[in-house]
A = this chain, B = another copy of it.
């Protein structure tokens, strides 16, 4: 994944991702309390990570798709502190963390890459704190849809259409809202002609309007 490596070096790096693992829809890649041994690079499929309170309340902490890394939560205590659930059949590369660390010492470019992956996750979660602490339901959903479609587009999919892999309840949990609020907000955006929604299918009809909801200042067409 990191660039700037020689062919021979690449072979060494391949060792780190030698083994793969299939995860069926609904199954867990790892769960809270599991011993931490490896990071996982998602090859195909779609995951959610979530944590649960003692009194049963659940918080989805992220949705991850192909090319993204999960498992970073386990490093600090050598135990995972969240559950990683496949929302569709998935395949991951298992990257034993001791290998990752060993090769990071050998290849500065890999080391830098690992650091960036972790920093990116910290910055993402900072943004989530802003969402959860300051934004209204419509803003949260707009930001969520824009982020999702942008990540899908970066993987070669449409920049306006998508099939959601998660339920309204899971979106709600991620955004700190109840499923009814998610549903109502979808309906509102649909009534306003900004998106088209049919169950899990979402089409963004007016991306600039959506951006304006998320962030009134930064809209391209309304300056």
Contact = CB atoms under 8 A, between A and B. Distances in A.
Given A119-B72, A119-B118, A54 B218 contact: yes
Nearest to A121: B122
Given A104-B105, A125-B126, A116 B76 contact: yes
| Secondary structure class of chain A's binding surface, majority of residues | helix
B125 A129 contact: yes
Given A116-B76, A119-B72, A59 B129 contact: yes
Interface in A123-163: 123, 125-130, 132-135
B126 A55 contact: no
A60 to B, nearest CB: 8
A120 interface: yes
A215 interface: yes
A153 B37 CA distance: 32
Interface string A79-108: 001100000000000000000010011101
- Number of this chain's copies in the assembly equals 2
Contact of A176 (B54, B134, B173): B134
Contact of A133 (B101, B134, B135, B176): B176
A75 B119 contact: yes
Given A122-B122, A132-B129, A55 B115 contact: no
Interface in A17-45: none
Contacts of A118: 72, 75, 115, 118-119, 122
Contacts of A75: 115-116, 118-119
A128 B130 contact: no
Contacts of A106: 105
A134 B57 contact: yes
A53 interface: yes
A74 B130 CA distance: 17
A185 interface: no
7 contacts: A54-B216, A57-B134, A61-B130, A73-B119, A76-B123, A82-B126, A132-B132
In the complex, the 9 A-B pairs of residues with the closest C-beta atoms, listed nearest first? A133-B176, A75-B119, A132-B132, A125-B125, A54-B217, A76-B119, A59-B130, A118-B118, A76-B120
